Amino acid sequence: MIPSTKEYRQIRFGCPPSTVETLSGWLSRATGQPVVEERIRSRRVLSVFMDDIDEMKLLLLREGARSLGGEILSEERLTDRDWEELWKRQGFKRFRVNGWLNIVPDWDDEPVPGGPVLRIHPHLAFGTGHHETTGRCLSLLVDHMPVPPVTDRAVLDFGSGTGILGIAALAMGHGDRLLSVDDDPLAREATRANIDRNGYTSRSTVLSDIGDLFRLVMAEKIVFPLIVANVTGSVITRYFPEWWGVLPEGGTMILSGISTGELDSVTAICPEPFSVHRGRKFHTVSLRKIGRTR
């Protein structure tokens, strides 16, 4: 459990179904936080959560949302202890990935039958496993679980959110060290807390930007047999060359969070062979680095 030491602000916006995608995307970009959608009859309610916001930023947020067809319905201050109830209301409950890996909310104390168990508290970050991008990445991690486990190599989780993908990769033996990167301090807080509750603290490093990552990579000559990035297509195209450079031959890359409009630009930079796993709104690309044929 994350101790109750902070207050956060929840702002709920109402909008018609026709504007939900535009407003949700704008809110995510404007706040740097994931947006939760609720469907209530003919209306949509979008919630965004922030650790703090001054009145001027709140005014700009309100006016920006109104210009996109939304309106503020409520504002509420939440403590850390409120998050369990909030995520319960949003439907975060235990589930199994490919009939084997168990993802269990931290507050669920019931026995878990069979298979490895990851305990996750989402807090303010993205990544419970229920979203189609996170779920697809988890499924691929299970499908490609190495036997025997990989040793003396690290896993890179770029855009870690709650840390769920990097923690799952460690649990399944894709590496014996984890480097997680996220530029959102709230996501890094959630990642560290979830790493700790799953017992991987001594094997993990959480970083704030790619500069810190590559300074560490150069200093310690790190290569990654697995890189997973559940971000956006634009982030993937920006950093793909750097990731490819630290992926050894035989290494695997799982790239997700790619919208339909971004898919062509991502696949255009991926060396063949690769696979495209299509979702409803977002897609995932998986590829393995192979040596040149002679």
Co-location of 55 and 99 in the same domain: no
User: For the chain, what percentages of helix, strand and coil (3-state, to nearest 5) are there?
Assistant: 35, 30, 35
Type of residue numbered 267: T
Among 36, 60, 83, which residue terminates a domain?
83
Q: Is 138 helix (H, G, I), strand (E, B) or coil?
A: helix
Contacts of 151 (CB under 8 A, 6+ apart): 176
Between the two ends of the chain, the Cα-to-Cα distance in Å is: 54
Within a domain: 76: yes
CA atoms within 13 A on the CB side of 209: 1
Which range is least confidently modeled, 22-36, 154-168, 174-188, 193-207?
A: 22-36
* Averaged pLDDT for residues 205-233: 93
pLDDT of 180 strictly over 90: yes
Which pTM does this prediction carry?
Answer: 0.74
DSSP calls for 141-196: HHHT--SSPP-S-EEEEES-TTSHHHHHHHHTTS-SEEEEE-S-HHHHHHHHHHHH
- Is 114 found in the same domain as 40? no
Whether 149 maps to a domain, the answer reads: yes
CATH number of the domain bearing residue 272:
3.40.50.150
Name residue, tokens 């947020």.
Answer: 61
The angle that helices 233-245 and 260-269 make with each other, rounded to 10 degrees, is 20
Indicate the number of domains in the chain: 2
Q: Do 45 and 77 fall into the same domain? A: yes
Q: 198 with 73, same domain? A: no
Same domain membership, residue 104 and residue 74: no
Candidate from 61-70, 127-136, 164-173, 209-218 with smallest mean pLDDT: 127-136
What range does the domain containing 70 cover?
7-83
Closest of 263, 248, 253 to residue 157, by C-alpha: 253
Query: What's the mean pLDDT in 186-213?
Result: 92
Confidence tier at 89 by pLDDT (50, 70, 90): low
Confidence of residue 3 (pLDDT cuts 50, 70, 90): very low
Residue 293 located in a structural domain: no
Would residue 21 count as lying in a domain? yes
What pLDDT, on the 0 to 100 scale, is given for residue 199? 95
pLDDT higher than threshold 80 for residue 33: no
CATH number of 48's domain: 3.30.70.260
157 and 35 share a domain? no
Exposed, middle or buried by CB within 10 Å (0-12, 13-18, 19+), for 107?
A: middle
**For residue 221, how many other CB atoms are within 10 A of its CB?**
7
Average pLDDT over residues 28-56: 76
Residues 36 and 166 grouped into a single domain: no
The answer to whether position 42 is within a domain reads yes
Percentage, residues of the chain above pLDDT 70: 86
The pLDDT value given to residue 2: 40
The CA distance from 276 to 61, in Å, is 36
Q: What is the reported pLDDT for 168?
A: 95
- From 55, 83, 111, give the residue that closes a domain: 83
Looking at the domain assignment, is residue 231 inside a domain? yes
| Residues 73 and 198 grouped into a single domain | no
Indicate if 156 and 40 belong to the same structural domain: no
**Helix and strand totals (H; E) in the chain:** 9, 14
Same-domain status, 46 and 100? no
Query: Residue 2: inside a domain, yes or no?
Result: no
- Stretch among 34-43, 83-92, 189-198, 272-281 having the lowest mean pLDDT: 83-92
Question: Does one domain contain both 146 and 210?
Answer: yes
User: What is the chain's mean pLDDT, rounded?
Assistant: 84
pLDDT at 202: 96
Residue 227 pLDDT grade (very low, low, confident, very high; cuts 50, 70, 90): very high
Closest CA to 170 of 140, 130, 204, 194: 204
- Any domain includes 294: no
Question: With 70 as the cut, is the pLDDT of residue 30 above it?
Answer: yes
Q: Are residues 25 and 110 in the same domain?
A: no
Backbone conformation region of residue 286, classed left if phi is above 0, alpha if psi is from -120 to 50, else beta: beta
Element containing residue 263 per DSSP (H, E): helix 260-269
How far apart are alpha carbons 55 and 282 in whole angstroms?
34
Choose one of 64, 83, 102: the last residue of a domain.
Answer: 83
